[in-house]
Amino acid sequence: MTIQEEVGQRRTFAIISHPDAGKTTMTEKMLLFGNMIRSAGTVKGKKSGKFATSDWMEIEKQRGISVTSSVMNFPYRGYQVNILDTPGHEDFSEDTYRTLTAVDAVVMIIDATKGIEAQTLKLFKVCRMRGIPIFTFMNKLDREGREPFDLLEEIESELEIETYPMTWPVGMGKRFQGVFDRNNEQFVKYAGDEQEEYIPYSELDNHPELTEDPTYQEAEGELSLVDEAGDTFEIEKVLRGEQTPVFFGSALAPFGVETFFNTFLDMAPAPTPRKSTKGLVSPENEEFSGFIFKIQANMNPKHRDRVAFVRVCSGKFERGMNVTLGRTGKAFKLAQSQQFVASSSNTVEEGYAGDIIGIYDPNVYRIGDTLLTGKETFEYDELPQFPPEQFKKVTAKNVMKAKQFYKGIEQLVQEGAIQLFKRPYFEDYIIGAVGELQFEVFEYRMKHEYNVDIELTPYGERIPRWLKEDQVDSSLFDDRNMLVEDREGNKVALFKNDFSLRWFKDKHPDVELIDLFEVNQYTQTNE
């Protein structure tokens, strides 16, 4: 096939939601359809010993949560599907934000019993900033939940996006009978197990057990109202991120997932041109290029490996090819390359725009790096960096483990879930994170992957502000307003609270304090 045909087959998307809305369960059902697994392990399958395929880290299995972005690749119905299952926990939102730069569409899962929750809103806003097409799946219809009209109204008012119900539910909980599939003009009947019956609209009169049921008749009336008064479907609006197609069902049952998945793949966009320092780069460009959006250490603890995840943006990837690292201009050979179903990997020989490929990292890559072939060197747009909110001093309990301690910190910091700072003169190591769970995962991984017990001394919540090199005066800082360096050597002030920050601004108006979060928001909004 030509590069153009290969690119046209690719569908690369992330699944976002609030914790417990059913994101990982939905991922597993998609893997079942792709014949990648024989049976799905529920996320909280502690007693049975079955765990979700995409939760590969030991701490995720223990807690029943996703704390890393998993990558899964498989063929399905003529498409090459790349799913990125993001962490739902808000402490890992930075990992999710970066993952969203590597996808062409997003599936937003909403718990129909709860509606829009805090983390959903946060992630949705990032998608809107980037103009990513959003498809919505209302989950858990096999339980009593909120009325469909209420849920649609909440999406429109809270998220400020048009809705178009692709399917419409008949009842919920014990009264749940199935969904009207508006796109394919059929009724999908729920049987209470994994079997689904598809009844064309033209044959519904032959099913009086449905049509004479009061719950069905009520839903039919609601559907008429949606047909008459609802928004019209416009694929152009969907692709611009201004309208979201909405599907109803249950990922756990599972019900409505196959209808959703098939429709989604037909509607979701193939890879599109990406912004770089030399302008837009077409996915059909002959020269290979891609960027690293994630680095993961120890996916195989026996080999102490480091894998850099590359989103292919143009041309053809081939195992063993020579590439240039845009940041340094140095050449590398990509000898080891893999595609994944969570922690299981297969050697991959080739890839095209939209594919996510894991390459061996000889400790030279950084998140955001561009890899390319050809004479012209350029870099893709910088990935967002978000400032941490909590800080702790980290030390090794056993000084004899110093070598493992420094190696562990270096590798885990490069993954981007935590950030490293040092105090000049003191040589204290300080790690910063968005939330407490990140510190727990860091401590767990240091112990189990690097065999180092660590001690964490809290500095509490701090407000970080970056400083310009020519404005740094160490005499202005103390333990209350601490001066530290980030891993790039940039000076950062960690203010104890808002009062300390305001007092410093009033006292030293000439010192410019840079808020990294504001910089990111400005950059993304003005892309």
Q: State yes or no: 207 annotated in a binding site.
A: no
pLDDT at 50 over 80: no
What pLDDT does residue 49 have? 43
**CB-count burial class (<10 Å; 0-12, 13-18, 19+) for 293:** buried
CA angle 491, 492, 494 (to 5 degrees): 150
pLDDT at 52 over 80: no
Q: State yes or no: 87 annotated in a binding site.
A: yes
Q: State yes or no: 334 annotated in a binding site.
A: no
Q: State yes or no: 140 annotated in a binding site.
A: yes
Domain 390-520, CATH number (from 3.40.1050.10, 3.30.70.3280, 3.30.70.1150, 3.40.50.720) = 3.30.70.3280
Tens digits of residue pLDDT in 214-234: 999 999 999 999 999 888 999
What pLDDT does residue 59 have? 45
CA angle 56, 58, 64 (to 5 degrees): 80
Q: State yes or no: 302 annotated in a binding site.
A: no
Contact predicate 440/463, CB 8 Å? no
Q: State yes or no: 448 annotated in a binding site.
A: no
What is the Cα–Cα distance from 121 to 399, expressed in whole angstroms? Answer: 45
What pLDDT does residue 317 have? 93
Q: Which pLDDT band, with edges at 50, 70 and 90, does 488 fall under?
A: confident
Q: State yes or no: 22 annotated in a binding site.
A: yes
Tens digits of residue pLDDT in 307-366: 888 999 999 999 889 999 999 999 989 877 766 554 455 677 889 999 988 888 887 888
Residues 6+ apart with CB under 8 A from 232: 164
- What does the DSSP assignment read for 434-461? SSHHHHHHHHHHHHHHH---EEEEEEEE
Q: State yes or no: 20 annotated in a binding site.
A: yes
Q: State yes or no: 86 annotated in a binding site.
A: yes
3-state SS, residue 150: helix
pLDDT at 55 over 50: no
pTM recorded for the entire structure: 0.77
Range(s) of the chain covered by CATH 3.30.70.3280: 390-520
The better pLDDT of the pair 377, 47 is held by 377
Q: State yes or no: 18 annotated in a binding site.
A: yes
Report the CATH fold assignment for 13-68+86-174+234-267.
Answer: Rossmann fold (3.40.50)
End-to-end CA distance of the chain: 33
Query: Domain 274-372 - what CATH class?
Result: alpha beta
State what percent of residues in the chain have pLDDT above 70: 85
Q: State yes or no: 85 annotated in a binding site.
A: yes
Q: State yes or no: 373 annotated in a binding site.
A: no
Q: State yes or no: 303 annotated in a binding site.
A: no
What pLDDT does residue 355 have? 92
pLDDT at 3 over 90: yes
What pLDDT does residue 458 have? 92
Range(s) of the chain covered by CATH 3.40.50.300: 13-68+86-174+234-267, 274-372
User: DSSP E strands: which ranges in 225-355?
Assistant: 243-248, 274-276, 279-281, 289-297, 306-314, 316-318, 322-325, 331-333, 337-341, 344-347, 350-352
What pLDDT does residue 266 have? 96
Tens digits of residue pLDDT in 152-167: 999 999 888 999 999 9
